[in-house]
């Protein structure tokens, strides 16, 4: 379908602003612009009962773990480890602040956001191992954090969705907590993708195929690493035994097809999957609750799926 009128208005605003594509900027400029764009589109952040920051050990030094609580501590709650997007190159725990707040309230869970290391300073698989470290800390310190370690889900958007999918594969191989659910929002799933959606979407005012190549170029120190299933989950030989999944995609997104292919591959391997495509909206829409009605609808659906899994 055509762009939703709200998305068309957003595109027109971007055109008037003259803001250059992120992939034409320096890393420092792109990181600042990305955070500004996300905050502007997210609307007013919702209040939560409490926000805490902890330092946790990671594979190469301490990491920041931010916890969002829907109510004061007092009883163990389920938890969602939410991994921010940004092509493994941009983003921070501040990038996902408004989104984590909304999911915390809507699901009634503790939402944990980890400040994983970014590429190209720390290429694949550094971010994945940081995410594993954060999950391990949620379990090891569950009593301290007020979390029920038997009720944990993982989620993320874009590169965060990639990391969430990869984390479930890593846990299946290495052992670890049994996750209740995985929420994958327009995830990258294949470094070698050559899909219709990737070829079709080249609008410089949106996340496009050049954006995808730019991010992968930073994330992988060696392009050959793209064949590793922990970088490209769609290339895993076996997807059986993974947690039930909710996969959300956007019509105007170069990653649309590979996200949907991953959902179908999970389903073919016997994993319960809820797949939903949102028409007329671009990549990144999930965080745009201050701009696009579809964002609120998608977040409500994601929260309902997580509540069903965790409560």
283 is catalytic: yes
* Measured CA angle at 1 (ends 288, 193), to 5 deg: 75
Catalytic residue among 34, 97, 253, 257: 253
Tokens of 128: 């994945």
211 is catalytic: no
253 is catalytic: yes
Catalytic residue among 158, 197, 211, 232: 158
Cα–Cα separations (whole angstroms), residue 151 to 142, 180, 202, 244: 11, 6, 40, 13
Q: Which residue has the tokens 């320096």?
A: 26
Paired strand residues for 249: 277
| Beta strand pairing call for 61-69 and 50-58 | antiparallel
Catalytic residue among 122, 129, 191, 283: 283
Q: How many Å apart are CA 89 and CA 106, to the nearest integer?
A: 29
DSSP 89: T
Tell me which H or E stretch contains 281. Answer: strand 273-282
Residue 46's SS3 state is: coil
The set of long-range contacts for 39-44, using a CB threshold of 8 Å and a minimum separation of 24, is: 39/98, 40/290, 41/10, 41/284, 41/287, 41/288, 41/289, 41/290, 41/291, 41/292, 42/98, 42/99, 42/287, 42/288, 42/289, 42/290, 43/98, 43/289, 43/290, 43/291, 44/290
Q: Return all residues near 151 (Cβ < 8 A) that are at least 6 apart.
A: 78, 79, 180, 310, 311
* Measured CA angle at 212 (ends 5, 12), to 5 deg: 25
> CB-side exposure of 51: number of CA atoms within 13 Å?
16
Q: How many Å apart are CA 221 and CA 127, to the nearest integer?
A: 13
Q: How many Å apart are CA 229 and CA 190, to the nearest integer?
A: 9
Catalytic residues: 158, 253, 283
């Amino acid at each position: 379908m055509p762009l939703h009128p709200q998305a068309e208005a957003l595109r027109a605003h971007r055109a008037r602003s003259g803001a250059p594509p992120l992939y034409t900027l320096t890393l420092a400029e792109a990181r600042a612009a990305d955070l500004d764009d996300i905050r502007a589109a997210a609307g007013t952040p919702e209040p939560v009962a409490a926000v805490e920051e902890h330092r946790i050990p990671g594979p190469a030094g301490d990491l920041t773990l931010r916890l969002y609580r829907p109510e004061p501590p007092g009883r163990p709650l389920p938890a969602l480890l939410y991994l921010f997007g940004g092509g493994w190159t941009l983003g921070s725990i501040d990038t996902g602040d408004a989104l984590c707040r909304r999911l915390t309230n809507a699901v009634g869970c503790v939402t944990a956001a980890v400040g994983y290391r970014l590429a190209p300073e720390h290429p694949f698989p550094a971010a994945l191992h940081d995410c594993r470290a954060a999950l391990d800390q949620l379990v090891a310190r569950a009593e301290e954090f007020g979390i029920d370690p038997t009720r944990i889900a993982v989620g993320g958007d874009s590169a965060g969705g990639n990391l969430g999918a990869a984390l479930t594969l890593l846990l299946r191989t290495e052992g670890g907590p049994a996750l209740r659910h995985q929420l994958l929002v327009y995830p990258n799933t294949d470094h070698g993708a050559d899909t219709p959606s990737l070829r079709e979407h080249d609008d410089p005012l949106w996340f496009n195929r050049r954006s995808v190549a730019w991010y992968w170029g930073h994330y992988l120190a060696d392009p050959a690493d793209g064949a590793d299933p922990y970088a490209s989950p769609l290339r895993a030989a076996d997807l059986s035994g993974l947690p039930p999944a909710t996969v959300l995609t956007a019509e105007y997104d170069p990653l649309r097809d590979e996200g949907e292919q991953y959902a179908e591959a999970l389903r073919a391997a016997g994993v319960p999957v809820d797949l939903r495509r949102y028409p007329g909206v671009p990549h990144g829409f999930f965080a745009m609750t201050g701009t696009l009605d579809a964002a609120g609808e998608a977040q409500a659906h994601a929260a309902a799926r997580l509540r069903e899994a965790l409560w």
